[in-house]
Amino acid sequence: MKTIDELLAEGVAGRRVFVRADLNVPLDGTTITDDGRIRAVAPTIARLAEAGARVVVASHLGRPKGAPDPAFSLAPAATRLGELLGADVAFASDTVGDSARATVAALTDGQVAVLENLRFNAGETSKDDAERGAFADRLAELADIYVGDGFGAVHRKHASVYDLPARLPHAAGALIATEVGVLKKLTEDVERPYAVVLGGAKVSDKLGVIDHLLDKADRILIGGGMMFTFLKAQGHEVGGSLLQEDQIPAVQGYLKRAEELGVEFVLPVDVLVADKFPDLKTKAPANPTAVAADAMPAGQMGLDIGPESAALYASKLADAATVFWNGPMGVFEHPDYAEGTRAVAQALVDSQGFSVVGGGDSAAAVRILGFDENAFGHISTGGGASLEYLEGKTLPGLAALED
């Protein structure tokens, strides 16, 4: 896989460099609520511009249905990128149409342009190779070189991620190189003890990574909505909590296998419950109650790990040499249910080991709860991509960058 350092050594001045970034940031209307992904790719774009490249940045945002939708415009991301670069960034109002061609043609050495949302064109995400290829052909007309740096999308077989690199000389950006290097630390010659913390809503989203890491991790801590499927698998009442009943047999199998392998599975000993889901807009007090994990009332729903569990989890992370965390412990967006997630984040900050926050809601929680990002070993920009890598899957966007 060619690196951006090698590419810059060859010279990019005057050449059109297509950067597949991940500018898929959360928006409240047109206001960006977390610019972490833009900040993560900005150094690659800045280095190319400083070297005299004519930089064409492209990304997806959200899930528009293959047609323009103003709610998913990349215009706010382009504006924020310009602020971070300290330079004007041109914006094309389409992806491969008249505006894109004119905007790219007008670039001079060292200038940057952002194309409109790639997913406004159905060819980007099409499962038909020919349709996807046709869109990649049109994107290729806009550039001389391809740089893949959108780690959050490398697990997708999309035109700009998988097909376009085959049509242009290509290299991996600094962000992707960093992400892959970190993931190798979690899968090859791992420093022990190795602890994995998994949360989030659905246990089905994490079964693959549990399966793959059972042979590698020393302990696995479970929280979030997925913990209730584990508790139910142990025969406990979970009330109105999130539950994937069809996954109970698989969960029971993993618990048995973990015991056979000597992997410690840590489940909550207490849970915060309430009779309804909290209002995340008003953040009105929810008055939760802490109950033992094996004594949840039938009419209540669990919304966070309890204080005893938070202390337990922190103790299980204190001596870890390597920690991977993906998924919040509860409904962290509401202050009454943020403490479990805060406790895990603080434990990683306090740990002397190498800590990796695996993207997605975990990365958002770190920022929303006010933690210094530099206090963690690494905060990934791609939750889904990180999980699939840890499952041992081949990621199309990484395979496409291999020489």
Binding residues for ATP: 206, 302, 333, 359-362
Going 321 to 153 to 81 to 77, the CA torsion angle's sign is negative
- C-alpha span between 317 and 397 (Å, rounded): 33
- CA torsion 171-186-36-115 (nearest 10°) is 30
Cβ pair 161, 119 in contact under 8 A? no
Using the structure block, give the residue that is written with the tokens 């094309």: 92
Angular region, 144: left φ>0, alpha ψ -120 to 50, beta rest? alpha
| Binding-site residues from annotation | 22-24, 37, 60-63, 119, 156, 206, 302, 333, 359-362
Catalytic residue (one of 15, 16, 20, 37): 37
Catalytic residue (one of 150, 225, 330, 384): 384
- CA torsion 160-161-163-169 (nearest 10°) is 90
Catalytic residue (one of 360, 382, 383, 397): 360
Provide the angle, in degrees to the nearest 10, between the axes of the packed helices 75-85 and 36-50.
60
Catalytic residue (one of 138, 202, 257, 367): 202
Cβ pair 51, 10 in contact under 8 A? no
| Binding-site residues from annotation for substrate | 22-24, 37, 60-63, 119, 156
- C-alpha span between 196 and 317 (Å, rounded): 9
Query: Where is 271: in which H helix or E strand?
Result: strand 270-274
| Known catalytic residue at 360 | yes
Cβ pair 126, 167 in contact under 8 A? no
| Known catalytic residue at 393 | no
Using the structure block, give the residue that is written with the tokens 């959360």: 26
| Known catalytic residue at 342 | no
Question: How far is residue 372 from each of residues 264, 310, 369, 376, 379, measured CA to CA in Å?
Answer: 30, 20, 9, 8, 11
Question: How far is residue 367 from each of residues 225, 320, 333, 373, measured CA to CA in Å?
Answer: 21, 23, 11, 7
Using the structure block, give the residue that is written with the tokens 């790990």: 305
| Known catalytic residue at 37 | yes
- C-alpha span between 200 and 223 (Å, rounded): 7
Q: Which residues are catalytic?
A: 37, 202, 360, 384
